[in-house]
Structure 1
């Protein structure tokens, strides 16, 4: 019979520190766009004409109060979600900041979805700029917090640990 000594226990515990946090993380919770709306809250509706910014070629719709209601139960969770890219910060190596949106073309010369249907994604590993038209999976830590940008009001932030092309099955 082998007895676990303090030394063996310490070595085993220390070895887990060498494994990256993303690899140690529990399984990713797969969420959908519907999950971003709190349970029992109907989807937002446009309730007015909005504001046209001709200089920047954008239109900001006015949503009812449901559009800014966030599902705070998701705050801080390690999630995996699908979506499409609306580029924000594109460098020579690719994208490091983008909006994850529920449908292709959202926020590009069309009214953006409500804030609770927009996710601001940041990544340390740039996503290739020639792959912005594909559906993707984004894995990372989700934060529920409203923020206003020049493009739209955004309900969520996702610090991406991994991004991959969505495989249609």
Structure 2
């Protein structure tokens, strides 16, 4: 005996048809560098006056307390952030730890950005050395825990689950 399809049968089929699309959706929330600054702290107020380092012929910014304030609402969240690589650990397979910075040359040719604009990234899958100077997307869980490196004070960390070349749209 054959039964006629019910409304519930149609709903189950419709829900199943939507599953593959949702499975393809990224689990990472795309964020921008300004999202790393806590709400209510204007970007213009995180860098105070600075001074010239005459020996090294560079400008040394003086950061105020706002520069080290991190957005704790993002702590532990899966995020996707664009940026540029400043390599720390590089092997034959590529880069396994690096600083993600918001603009080209940060920390190398210019003084470092404030701590809440720097992310220390580690990855189990090395990023190829020949692609080191390309802008990238880094996806992983963001940790709002400060650390010190030989280059700068850092406000965030990410254990990268995915790194990919940033494509301009």
TM-score, normalised via structure 2 length: 0.78
**Structure 2 match to 1:149:** 149
Do the aligned partners of residues 82 and 26 (structure 1) sit closer, same or farther apart at CA in structure 2, a change above 3 Å counting? closer
Larger CA Rg, structure 1 vs 2: 2
Quick one: structure 1 residues 86 and 52, their matched pair in 2 at CA, closer, same or farther if it must change by over 3 Å? farther
CA contact (8 A) 1:72 1:144 kept: yes
Q: How many residues align?
A: 145
Q: Which residue of 2 aligns with 1:164?
A: 164
The answer to whether structure 1 residue 124 and structure 2 residue 124 are counterparts is yes
Deviation >6 Å, runs of 4+: 50-53
Could you give the per-residue CA deviations for residues 113-145 of structure 1, whole angstroms, max 9, x where no partner exists? 000000000000000011111111011010001
Distance 2:50 2:107 in 1: 18
1:77 matched residue in structure 2 = 77
- Unmatched 5+ stretches in structure 1: 1-22
Q: Could you tell me how far apart the structure 2 residues matched to 1:29 and 1:60 are?
A: 34
RMSD, matched Cα: 2.4
**What is the rounded CA distance, in whole Å, between the counterparts of 1:66 and 1:89 in structure 2?**
30
User: What's 1:34 paired with?
Assistant: 34
Distance 1:84 1:156, change over 3 A: same
The structural deviation recorded for 1:53 is 7.9
Q: Distance in 2 between matches of 1:60 and 1:53?
A: 12
Q: Which runs of 5+ in 2 are unaligned?
A: 1-22
Quick check: 2:63–2:114 contact (8 Å CA) kept in 1? yes
